[in-house]
Homo-oligomer: A and B are copies of this chain.
């Protein structure tokens, strides 16, 4: 078999490496999957207007998010249950992120504990530091590892998770706000989705004896959310959360300018424009369509990131031209994991990075800051 040369090829090969239940869980969107499709197809409405005869001999894709250095404006989105894709699960993903010098956002619902992930990430970075014949502490690459938070009804759990994440060296908290209840993914209902034997909620199992139930005619995750997670979360809780930590807080799941502004006013350092990969409210606006309004509302008070439907370097370029500081990639990382573990996930990131590099060169952008909003037009 030849190595896939783009993310779509990974997507088409991945099913061979996944159980039907895992594939459905990863691939599906809510209800009719309209938003799932919109996230992708909406990118085609935005056309690039490249600039010519700019010197692009030296290209630099590095950027700073929350003051943390990244080798490129592409992060790994939080995704639950990565051991469904590969035995190493979130550890493999963390290695890929560390190898490439970008950030991984670890899900509360991970199948490897946050401490293991943090350790793997740190070891991997030190190794790559040694391999490069590192000289001093200062030249050590940064350690960008964010922890994604679902707030359980039992608030003590959340408090402890934050303490653990901080202790383990995570550098940001990412609060998901678009899931007061779980979106209905009908493939999961039909499959009565649950975790297979031997897989657990690694951050929660030992701490609170929580597990994904097996529910008749329903996704076990849907039931879990209904029972355990707090549908009463408000902006006040965002302030409460910040009182618990010195880490910067990122709010994920914003689709309106007014909500983005409110997040910033409540102390968020960044917002992620997201519809949860089309898995929560079907019919919600595609993220690339919502982005410009949110960028305009937030101004320079916070950083705006976006996820959903990004499969090509040109998608990243469009998102950045519309004002995003960076993007997050989700499902393709899972396809990479399924096909080749850590190496596969890393290849996904490399492909996107290289495509972005070429796209920037062809648009007259030598560095990230050269990307401006005149590069895109909606037709």
Asked whether, in the complex, the Cβ of A362 is within 8 Å of the Cβ of B183, the reply is: yes
Task: For the complex, give the distance between the alpha carbons of A48 and B278 in Å.
Answer: 12
Is A204 engaged at the interface, CB distance under 8 Å to the other chain? Answer: no
Task: For the complex, give the distance between the alpha carbons of A50 and B283 in Å.
Answer: 10
Which of A52-60, A164-172, A332-340 lines the interface with chain B? Answer: A52-60
What is the copy number of this chain in the assembly?
Answer: 4
Is A289 engaged at the interface, CB distance under 8 Å to the other chain? Answer: yes
Task: For the complex, give the distance between the alpha carbons of A238 and B52 in Å.
Answer: 11
Asked whether, in the complex, the Cβ of B362 is within 8 Å of the Cβ of A285, the reply is: no
Asked whether, in the complex, the Cβ of B34 is within 8 Å of the Cβ of A44, the reply is: yes
Known: A31-B314, A48-B285, A231-B56. A358 touches B181 (CB 8 A): yes
Asked whether, in the complex, the Cβ of A361 is within 8 Å of the Cβ of B52, the reply is: no
Q: Which residue of B lies closest to A34 (CB)?
A: B44
Asked whether, in the complex, the Cβ of B32 is within 8 Å of the Cβ of A284, the reply is: no
Asked whether, in the complex, the Cβ of A32 is within 8 Å of the Cβ of B312, the reply is: yes
Is A318 engaged at the interface, CB distance under 8 Å to the other chain? Answer: yes
Asked whether, in the complex, the Cβ of A280 is within 8 Å of the Cβ of B362, the reply is: yes
Residues of B within 8 A of A3 (CB): 217
Is A189 engaged at the interface, CB distance under 8 Å to the other chain? Answer: yes
Is A353 engaged at the interface, CB distance under 8 Å to the other chain? Answer: no
14 extra A-B contacts, CB within 8 A, seeds A52-B259, A53-B259: A5-B189, A6-B31, A31-B312, A32-B312, A47-B284, A50-B256, A50-B281, A54-B180, A55-B233, A55-B234, A56-B232, A180-B361, A283-B318, A283-B359
